[in-house]
Every structure is written in C-alpha cells, then in structure tokens.
Homo-oligomer: A and B are copies of this chain.
Amino acid sequence: MSESAAENTLAEQIAAQLRRDILRGKLPPDTAIKERDNAAELGVSRTPMREAIRILAQEGLVVLRPSRSPIVARPTVKEVHDQVVVLLALEKLSAQIACERATEVDLSRLAELNEQIAEAYDHVDALDLFEMDMAFHRLIAEAAHNEALAETHHAYLARLWRARFLSATMRRNRERVVSHHGAIMNALRARDPEAVDAALDQHLSNLAEDISAAIEAENAEAERAGG
C-alpha cells in the first residue's frame, strides 16, 4: 500500500490520470496519445507528459513506435495469456515463500480484507470491488517479504488490470471469489505449501481462459467497428 500515496510529480499525476482513463476504457486500444495535444488538453507542457507516457509504456499500457504517436496498447490474446501465466507463477511462488515467512499480521490483514470483500460484494461497484480483489492478491505477494517479487507481481497485476476487469465483469460470481479467497487464506494459515498451491490453482486456473475470451470479444468488437 505504499505507492498509491504520493504522486509527487506532475508526470506521475498525469500518468495516473491516463492510466485510469485507459483501464476504464475511456481511452480504448489504438487511441493515439500525442505529446503535444494531450499536454495542451491537460494544460501542462510536453515534458511531464512525455515522462508520463514513458511510465505507461514501461507498464505495457501504451506502446511507443519510432516516429509515431504512442498508442494505447491492444494486447493480443496470446500476449495476455502469456502474462497471466507469469502472474500465476509469481503468485504461486509468493504463496510458497509466504508459507514460511508470513507474519501473523500478514495473515490477519488477509482475513480482514477477505471479510470486507465478502461484505461489500453486493453493495459496491465492479471497479471498487476489483481494487479490493487486487489488494487481496497483493497481500499474498507481500506476505513473502521479498520486495522484488512483490514489485514484479504488482506490475503484472497492474498490467493485467483491464483484462482481468473485463473478464470479471463478464462472469461475476460472489461465491467463487469469496470461497476461493478463503481457501487460499486457510492454506496459508496452515502454512501448507501444497494446499496453497492447490488453492491458487483452483482460483486462477480458469483465469487465463476467461481473460482470453474477454480480450477476444473486445478485439472482435474493434474489428467490426474500426476495420
């Protein structure tokens, strides 16, 4: 929970703004992000806008093309699938390590959040719910107390945010999420590596296919409209 705080510099604020717009679909894939125009639109200079674009490019949300405007990324199904594979591996590794290293505080935070999710599930909009889900998975990664791992895991989670969001809104299922989270939690509590692995597999095994379907649908839509 360390990064959502500051947003010190203008560039970071711009990046955050653009990130939200991209992830929420206000800036759909293939949209050009011109340094000049977007900077003018926000009333800032090109310098921080440029830096913001680099940040998002680093995150994989926009793609830089030589001598061309950067555009909002349109990940292919394979790309997203590949990223999910890595995310899954990172989370499993985190959980394995967490079986040894997780503190009681880590575990109770996890429990608390899971309870919050269960409670909020029906009252809260999809976006906020998704933030909570993301936080849950981040807590797992952080419970391994391996900063590099947590950071990389978070980067993948962020990069896959939109895809996961699309997928989740398509098949929102309270029971699945809450009970799966509970299973993961209990396995961690028991510090049982194999149970953790199984629980994560159970929770995330269909993720790749779900996401792929969502992306495929969106891309097909775009093809019909723009092509």
Q: Which residues of A contact B (CB under 8 A)?
A: 8, 47, 51, 54, 58, 66, 79, 82-83, 85-86, 89-90, 93, 97, 146-149, 152, 156
**Contact B54–A149 (Cβ < 8 Å):** no
* Shortest distance from the beta carbon of A81 to any chain B beta carbon, whole Å: 9
Q: How far is the CA of A146 from the CA of B88 in the complex (A)?
A: 14
Q: Tell which of A47, A51, A66, A85 has the most Cβ of chain B within 10 Å.
A: A85
**Contact B85–A149 (Cβ < 8 Å):** yes
Q: How far is the CA of A152 from the CA of B83 in the complex (A)?
A: 10
Interface CB pairs A-B, < 8 A, 29: A8-B66, A47-B47, A51-B51, A51-B54, A54-B54, A58-B58, A79-B147, A79-B148, A82-B146, A82-B147, A82-B148, A82-B149, A83-B148, A85-B93, A85-B97, A85-B146, A85-B148, A85-B149, A86-B90, A86-B93, A86-B146, A86-B148, A86-B149, A86-B152, A89-B89, A89-B90, A89-B93, A148-B156, A152-B152
Which residues of chain B have C-beta atoms less than 8 A from A8's C-beta? 66
* Shortest distance from the beta carbon of A164 to any chain B beta carbon, whole Å: 15
With A47-B47, A86-B149, A89-B90 already in contact, 14 other A-B pairs whose C-beta atoms are closer than 8 Å: A8-B66, A51-B51, A51-B54, A58-B58, A82-B146, A82-B148, A83-B148, A85-B97, A85-B146, A85-B148, A85-B149, A86-B90, A89-B89, A148-B156
